[in-house]
Structure 1
Amino acid sequence: MWKKLLCLALGLALGISFLDDFDPDVLKGKKVVITGASTGIGEQIAYQFAKFGADVFITSRRDNVLQQVTDKCRSIGHPDGKYLHLAADMSNMSSTEEVIKEASARLGGIDILVLNHILKINMATWEGSAANLTLLDKIFDVNFKSYIHLSSHALPHLQTSRGSIVVISSIAGKMGLPALSMYSATKFALNGFFGSLRQEFHTKGCGISITLCTIGMIGTENAMSQMSDYGVQDVWKWFPPAQPEEAALAIVKGGVQRFREVFFPYFQTKPVALLRDWIPGILDAFNAFIYSN
């Protein structure tokens, strides 16, 4: 009997994973703000929104790279679309207010806020040193606190549009991973804060949706170099990296359809999130094995 139930559950999961009610036309003219959009998944998210006819406002620290991204958005987007950018450092909390103020003024409002930026740090074991503690403060400012500030400043605009917040998290926000303790901590914090905020929005009936995106191994330049530098590139044998543009499309579709959560790649991330509570010791042993080879 249990085998039949397992097969049924797997069949339902597979069916759900291929269910796609995404209508790209709903994005035409939508006003979208994307952070961390100069490279990687954030850059690809900008292209996806532009391709579907949305007005796009992007931000990261490098103005010259942002200009290149907005130029490409303009080339693939709607001729009458708006493709704008602003260089900003998310370690400075005053920048978060400036970004939202500038985006809402230039776009004429905000429909979707995509929070994607991170402070890039090297994979390393926690030593408890003074340098570790200093870096911990900085990574929490960028990877967590700035997300809260940005969404808080955007709330009046999102309430008006009954819009959406899309938060890019990670499988490292579902279970701790070796050499990623600080990064993992910020992703757990994001899941906790925005999971609670989603319930508050539902209780208030304010109409704002929150989509949390659990992202697995993606073949971005940063992720690949980090794994290689730490000497654990063999993990790709177990979890072949997906392409950034595929991840971006899954994120855009999930955010537009106001999904509660997005798991991508689904069969790399969703089982881990489930098994974390069922067989945590085995998962820990597996992680120790693949990160030591």
Structure 2
Amino acid sequence: MTWLVTGGAGYIGAHVVRAFQDAVRATGDERLRPVVLDDLSSGHADFVPEDVPLVRASVVDADAVAHALAEHAVTGVVHLAGYKYAGVSVQRPLHTYEQNVTGTARLLEAMAGAGVDRIVFSSSAAVYGTPDVDVVTEATATAPESPYGESKLIGEWLLRDQGVATGLAHTSLRYFNVVGSGSPDLYDSSPHNLFPLVLDALTTGRTPRINGADYPTPDGTCVRDYVHVADLAVSHVAAARALADGRPLERVYNLGSGDGMSVAQIMTTVAQVTGIDFTPEVGPRRPGDPARIVASGEAAARDLDWAMRHTPEQMVASAWDAHRRTT
């Protein structure tokens, strides 16, 4: 009995895998042993612990997924694999839909064939677009503004419809800007995410850049929930355990802070933590970036052991430590 973590060699996925291992050690619950499926297009094989099986394959390859489900006696799936770049998805919509929609459909098809009836889906705050409320809840209307956000919403619909058709037990976790590191050997290598872009600029002697300072926010820069990756991973395991135990969950949960920070505020925190004084350059907006998304995490705190356990300073410090060890 295992849980398949698709995208488990990626930044978030690798933290989820280690959270599963921690849960097995803490509880002795062998049902939570992880297996990773990842095509390594953006993941790293050395992120996967030596005692965790790694299946190198894409979720788009239904035969490979079906084989992995059978070979490793999978009883549930945490689905994190996908193309996660909202801005770039505007230029590559067909690729985004292939990876995120077709991939999810083929995964669900393989799961149905193998009798695997539990899934935790990695969704996104991008499904909300630019909401007209200060703090979004799960009841806030969805209005994605990028192919990435649309593909994540369609993924939620696929789970919903498969649940009606087959009894699939599922929940989708919508989250926001995931940052920090839970272990110095796990780092965010995305070429598009704020923290790695800023830290890479500082270590190479360049000036960090803000994408747009003319948004309708207090300081003109985008406001986001920034959540620590290790906190996020704990709630994925909590969701998996609930599904494994047959406990009912909501269809979707926001993993948010109820508060937010602007990109400019993050830049100030980075300067304070690293000790490197800088004034960021300001460039044009990125396509697909809404001005503000901040969410309540109350429902997830009730059901999924969700909590903001790290301060902004700790988020930056852990990311900085991991980044320096890889450069």
TM-score category (smaller protein): 0.5 to 0.7
2:211 aligned to 231, 236, 239, which one? Answer: 231
Aligned positions of 1:141-152 closer than 5 A: 141-152=98-109
**Residue 85 of structure 1: aligned partner:** 54
| 2:174 corresponds to which of 211, 214, 225 | 214
Letter paired with 2:37: T
Among 62, 70, 76, the alignment partner of 1:104 is 70
Please list the CA deviations of residues 116-168 of structure 1 after superposition, one character each: whole Å capped at 9, or x if unmatched: 11224462595xxxxx3xx2111111111111101211124335xxx411111
1:170 aligns with 2:170: no
In structure 2, do the counterparts of structure 1 residues 35 and 235 end up closer, same or farther at CA, with 3 Å as the change threshold? farther
Partner residue of 1:8? none
| 1:117–1:232 distance in 2 versus 1, CA, 3 Å | farther
Q: Which amino acid is the alignment partner of residue 263 of structure 1? A: N
Contact 2:66 2:114 (8 Å CA) reproduced: no
Q: Which amino acid is the alignment partner of residue 196 of structure 1?
A: D
Pairing 1:66–2:48 present? no
- Aligned match of 1:181 in 123, 146, 157? 146
Match of 2:33 in 1: 55
Question: Are the aligned partners of 1:166 and 1:211 in contact in 2 as well (CA < 8 Å)?
Answer: yes
Q: 1:217 to 1:143 in 2, by over 3 A?
A: same
Instruction: Tell me the CA shift for residue 246 of structure 1.
Output: 0.7
User: What secondary structure does 1:123 align onto?
Assistant: helix
**In the TM superposition, what is the alpha-carbon distance from 1:182 to its structure 2 partner?**
1.4
Residue 280 of structure 2 corresponds to which residue in structure 1? none
Letter in 1 for 2:40: R
| 1:18-66 deviation digits (Å, cap 9, x = unpaired) | xxxxxxxxxxxx4110111112221111111122223221022239932
Q: Distance in 2 between matches of 1:194 and 1:235?
A: 37
Alignment partners' CA distance in 2, 1:125 and 1:99: 25
Per the alignment, do residues 176 and 193 of structure 1 end up closer, same or farther by CA in structure 2, a change over 3 Å counting?
farther
User: Are the counterparts in 1 of residues 224 and 292 from structure 2 also a CA contact under 8 Å?
Assistant: no
- The letter for the 2-side match of 1:143 is N
Residues 55-97 of structure 1: per-residue CA shift (max 9 Å, x gap): 22102223993244132xx3xxxxxxxx20111234xx3x232
- Give the gaps of 5 or more residues in structure 2: 25-31, 132-142, 181-187, 199-208, 214-218, 244-248, 261-288, 294-327
Aligned to 2:228: 243
Q: How many residues align?
A: 215
For 1:212 and 1:174, the matched residues in 2 are separated by: 14
More helix by share: 1
Alignment of 1:267-278 (within 5 A): 267=258
* Gap change, CA 1:189 and 1:176, over 3 Å in 2: farther
Residues in 1 aligned to 2:178 and 2:172: alpha-carbon distance in whole angstroms: 17
Q: Which residue of 1 aligns with 2:162?
A: 197
Q: CA deviation at 1:100?
A: 2.9
1:252 lines up with 2:237 in the alignment: yes
Going from structure 1 to structure 2, the CA distance change for 1:121 and 1:197 (only over 3 Å counts) comes to same
SS in 2 for 1:52: helix
Aligned-pair identity in percent equals 11
Cα distance 1:290–1:171, how it changes in 2: closer, same or farther (>3 A)? closer
TM-score, scaled to structure 1: 0.62
Residue in 2 that maps onto 1:118: 82
Deviation, 1:290, is 5.1
Inter-CA distance 227–211: structure 2 relative to 1 (3 Å threshold): farther
Return 5+ residue gaps in structure 1 as ranges: 1-29, 75-82, 127-131, 203-207, 270-286
**What displacement does 1:245 show?**
1.1
233-242 or 50-59: bigger deviation:
233-242
Matched residue of 1:118: which SS? coil
Offset at residue 199 of structure 1 (A): 2.6
